[in-house]
Structure 1
Amino acid sequence: MTDVQNTAPEQGAEQAWPLWEVFVRSSRGLSHVHAGSVHAPDATMALRNARDLYTRRNEGTSVWVVPAEAITASDPDSKGGFFESPSGKVYRHATYYKQSEGVPHL
């Protein structure tokens, strides 16, 4: 069996295959988890390549492929400003509230 990631045209070729991100769900009820990437000319081939590469030992029940260019991600270097709560909204955190006396099971 050939390595799927090596089947793409060489770097700099006029029509290089796009990159697809692969997500695999190992069993029903679980979330899909990012497994890796494949190059393929279209979604159907990307799905087949992903199946062959990431579920060889019957590890998955579902596979998703997404064009890498369709994914928008936050900048890890901007973590502080992006994920911090706006000032004045401390009520969004459980530590803001006081535990009531005499209320069981809290």
Structure 2
Amino acid sequence: MSDLTAEGGHGAVPTGPEVPTGTGKAARRDWPLYEVFVRGKRGLNHVHVGSLHAPDDEMAVHAARDLYTRRNEGVSIWVVKATHITASSPDEKDPMFAPSGDKVYRHPTFYEIPDDVPHI
């Protein structure tokens, strides 16, 4: 019996040595991890909705559609290989973002907003 993993939060995936590899393709446990972003019908931005493993980019888009837009929630899907994402660490929060705190001119408190400017 094969081992199971829920890596990426998308459910149990067989990972044992007896998992069939198909027609010369890598075993499922060797598929790259993709991060999935979906733009909703009412939203303006793509939002991270989860992760999945897929053998290639095209299959990742199809799997993301099947997993994360089952109820017509989205109008656009992005999939990105997790290895292509570079992110800051939460431990670096203070050194990374603290320098912007001393730039008070970036805050709108120094500017007069005309009365005829809407939505501010």
What TM-score bracket applies, with the shorter chain setting the length?
0.7 to 0.9
From the superposition, tell whether residues 17 and 98 of structure 1 become closer, same or farther in structure 2 (CA, over 3 Å): closer
Moved more, 65-74 or 28-37: 28-37
TM-score by length of 2: 0.66
Residue 10 (str. 1) matches residue 24 (str. 2): no
Aligned to 2:57: 43
Structure with a larger share of its residues in strand: 2
Give the share of equivalent positions with the same residue, in percent. Answer: 56
Q: Which amino acid aligns with 1:60?
A: G
Give SS of 1:72's match.
coil
TM-score (norm 1): 0.73
The code of the aligned residue for 2:77 comes to V
- What runs of 5+ residues in structure 1 fail to find an aligned partner? none
* TM-superposed deviation, 1:10: 1.2
The 1:48/1:104 distance shift into structure 2, 3 A limit, reads: closer
- Residues in 2 aligned to 1:37 and 1:78: alpha-carbon distance in whole angstroms: 24
* One-letter amino acid of the counterpart of residue 99, structure 2: S
Q: Note if 1:22 corresponds to 2:48.
A: no
Listed as ranges, the gaps of 5+ residues in structure 2 are: 1-9, 20-25, 116-120
Deviation at 1:88, TM superposition (A): 6.0
Label 1:91 to 1:65 Cα distance change in 2 as closer, same or farther (>3 A).
same
1:62 has 2:76 as partner: yes
The aligned length equals: 98
- For CA contacts below 8 A with separation 6 or more, give which structure has more relative contact order: 1
The answer on whether the counterparts of 1:5 and 1:39 sit within 8 Å (CA) in structure 2 is no
AA of the residue aligned to 1:66? V
Tell me how far apart the structure 2 counterparts of residues 26 and 86 of structure 1 sit (CA, whole Å): 31
